[in-house]
């Protein structure tokens, strides 16, 4: 596979890779490194890419695996620290400011979901993949994807409703 051909096939989904990586790794720098690393890996395996039905799905699976590995690896302890710092509620004033910003609230709610649900929400509601595609990328049954997604959406909805009512009363 030539470089131009390679770039034509893999570049269209670089933003998706980046966003998924960022969803899982939280930090932008980490996500950028992950994207870079992933494309480097794809380039090294460029001759094998033809064997895959969908290169995009393959790349997504690779992204998922890479990010999970990163989270499990030693550096993950650092990441976890950032992550939990992020969840810290801080002073009441700070909290209030954060709550007012409902978009950042949704961001936090999604980040608090289990890894799998987080990933599925990202793939479905932000990247707009079909259930079959997500199932293939995550090596799951389509029904399992639906169940996880439904759970994730309901969790977010519940939390949002709670916050919403709290704001009114």
Distances (CA, A) of 86 to 119, 158, 164: 19, 21, 21
Where on the chain is the footprint of another protein (CB under 8 A)? 3, 6, 11, 14-15, 17-19, 22, 32, 35-36, 39-40, 43, 102-103, 105-107, 110, 124-128, 130, 145-147, 149-150, 153-154, 156-157, 160-161, 163-164
Q: Which is nearer to another protein, 49 or 125 (CB)?
A: 125
Nearer to another protein, 48 or 81 (CB): 48
Q: Are the C-beta atoms of residues 123 and 129 closer than 8 Å to each other?
A: yes
> To the nearest whole angstrom, how small is the minimum distance from the Cβ of residue 90 to another protein?
20
| Number of Cβ atoms within 10 Å of the Cβ of 133 | 19
Helices (H) then strands (E): counts for the chain: 10, 0
Q: State which residue, 80 or 164, has the beta carbon closest to another protein.
A: 164
Q: Please report how close the Cβ of residue 88 comes to another protein at its closest, in angstroms.
A: 21
In whole angstroms, what is the distance from residue 91 CA to residue 106 CA?
A: 20
Q: In this complex, which beta carbon is closest to another protein, that of residue 37 or of residue 76? A: 37
């Amino acid at each position: 596979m030539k470089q131009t051909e390679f770039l034509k096939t893999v570049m269209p989904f670089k933003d998706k890779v980046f966003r998924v990586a960022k969803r899982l790794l939280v930090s932008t720098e980490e996500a950028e490194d992950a994207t870079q690393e992933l494309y480097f890996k794809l380039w090294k395996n460029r001759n094998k890419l033809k064997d895959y039905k969908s290169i995009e799905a393959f790349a997504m699976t690779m992204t998922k695996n890479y990010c999970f590995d990163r989270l499990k690896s030693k550096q993950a302890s650092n990441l976890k620290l950032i992550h939990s710092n992020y969840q810290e509620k801080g002073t009441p004033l700070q909290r209030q400011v954060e709550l007012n910003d409902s978009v950042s609230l949704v961001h936090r709610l999604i980040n608090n979901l289990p890894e799998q649900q987080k990933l599925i929400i990202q793939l479905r509601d932000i990247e707009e993949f079909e259930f079959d595609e997500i199932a293939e990328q995550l090596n799951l049954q389509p029904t399992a994807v639906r169940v996880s997604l439904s759970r994730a959406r309901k969790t977010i909805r519940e939390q949002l409703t709670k916050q919403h009512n709290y704001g009114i009363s």
